């Protein structure tokens, strides 16, 4: 490929299209006396809505144009993670206050609160949460434990999947596989087999993740 053809190829790359979210978001970010006086700590975009978590512990559910659908104030500290199931009928938040809160995205906005008594940095719902009877989710944080909670016949069951390698900073759940990162690297767990199946060690000198 000639230099000129390569240059033409680069110049023809499409530009990223975007627009600013309006509605309540500019007011949320405003420092004015009339503003809400809060700051965004985390955000998550679903096909049907936008979720925003704030440093003051609020979770805002907005439509795609920024119109406020629902504001929840179930936390007492910074929101550190958000998650939805595939359908978007349910979403969840976690916080430095040690709580995981699960919300119904429709109807009366029912909430369920779980307290883990230590800062939680990551939360992931079962992608089929709304369709499964056990309503499973996984979470982790500064205690260095990856916890799974699911609904049993008579009570909620807590399962400790992993511990002892520092703060858990991120979790992803795709199909039957759950991956999470801690200070040592990334591990992968098979939900159906109920066992860890892979481990990716953190490269030397890569630093420790922080959230």
For 133-176, the pLDDT digits (tens) are: 889 999 999 999 999 999 866 557 789 999 999 999 999 999 99
Compute the C-alpha angle 74/51/86, nearest 5°. 105
Q: May I ask the CATH class of domain 38-201?
A: mainly beta
Q: Which region holds residue 60: left if phi is over 0, alpha if psi is between -120 and 50, else beta?
A: beta
Q: Specify the pTM.
A: 0.83
Task: Indicate whether 186 pLDDT > 90.
Answer: yes
In the chain, what are the domain boundaries? Answer: 38-201
Residues contacting residue 194 through CB under 8 Å, at least 6 positions apart: none
């Amino acid at each position: 490929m000639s230099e000129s053809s390569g240059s033409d190829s680069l110049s023809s790359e499409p530009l990223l299209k975007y627009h600013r979210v309006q509605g309540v978001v500019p007011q949320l970010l405003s420092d004015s006396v009339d503003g809400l006086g809060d700051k965004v700590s985390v955000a998550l975009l679903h096909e049907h809505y936008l979720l925003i978590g704030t440093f003051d512990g609020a979770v805002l559910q907005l439509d795609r144009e920024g119109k406020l659908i629902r504001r929840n104030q179930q936390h007492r500290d910074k929101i550190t993670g958000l998650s939805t199931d595939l359908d978007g009928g349910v979403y969840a938040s976690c916080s430095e206050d040690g709580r995981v809160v699960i919300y119904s995205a429709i109807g009366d906005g029912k909430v369920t609160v779980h307290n883990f008594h230590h800062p939680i940095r990551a939360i992931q719902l079962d992608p089929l949460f709304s369709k499964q009877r056990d309503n499973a989710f996984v979470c982790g944080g500064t205690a260095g434990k990856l916890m799974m909670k699911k609904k049993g016949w008579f009570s909620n069951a807590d399962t400790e999947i992993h511990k002892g390698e520092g703060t858990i900073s991120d979790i992803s759940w795709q199909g039957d596989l759950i991956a999470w990162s801690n200070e040592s690297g990334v591990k992968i767990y098979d939900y159906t087999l109920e066992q860890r199946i892979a481990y990716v060690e953190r490269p030397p000198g890569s630093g420790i993740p922080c959230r």
